[in-house]
Amino acid sequence: MDTAPIVRPVLAGEHDRVAELTLAAYTQLGLDVGPYRAALADVAGRAAAAPVFVAVRGSRVVGAVTYVPDRDNAYAEFDDTDAAGIRMLAVDPGAQGAGIGAALVDACVASAIATGRGRVVLHSTVEMAAARRLYRRLGFQRAPDRDWRPQPNVALHGYVLAIDTVAGAGPARSVGT
């Protein structure tokens, strides 16, 4: 049985690994990431602007996520003053289905709780069926009013987790890690 991953901030020496696993996770879905490829691969740029968490099993980075602390962050895709966001969640294709994604989402939710945010928002695509199942299982609700199209061929579906619906939510709550 696999042990729970350790979730922590990304280290500079891990940027290339995170870029590799992120691109692998997105392209295995058959997504044409097009110009988004550069953003997915720019882990150093992301980490300079927003917290990037990694999931580690043993000594190997097996997943990553970008936590968007507020609407003023360069990675925000929302204008909600009481929200935090999740972007670019990716799990190494060889490690999927083992709780890595849930641990990364939990770290983002814990960060939102710790900073008093009322909601966590994210976007997903039709191709990301496993991710959408994960979000629903973790309490995220579909939010069609947050849908948008960053490119003509890319439809993003909005999801929201209300912090007050998270069991034990509060400043002292520990989620996942």
Specify the pLDDT at position 168. 56
Could you tell me if residue 1 is inside a domain?
Answer: no
pLDDT of residue 175 exceeding 70, the answer is no
More confident residue, 68 or 33: 68
pLDDT at 127: 75
Instruction: Please check the confidence at residue 154 and state whether its pLDDT lies above 90.
Output: no
Residue 69, in any domain of the structure = yes
- Which residue range forms the structural domain that includes residue 141? 6-165
Whether 71 maps to a domain, the answer reads yes
Does residue 41 belong to any structural domain of this protein?
A: yes
Q: Which pLDDT band, with edges at 50, 70 and 90, does 48 fall under?
A: very high
CATH code of the domain containing 80: 3.40.630.30
pTM: 0.87
Q: For the chain, what is the domain count?
A: 1
Tell the burial category of 151 from Cβ atoms under 10 Å away from its Cβ (0-12, 13-18, 19+).
exposed
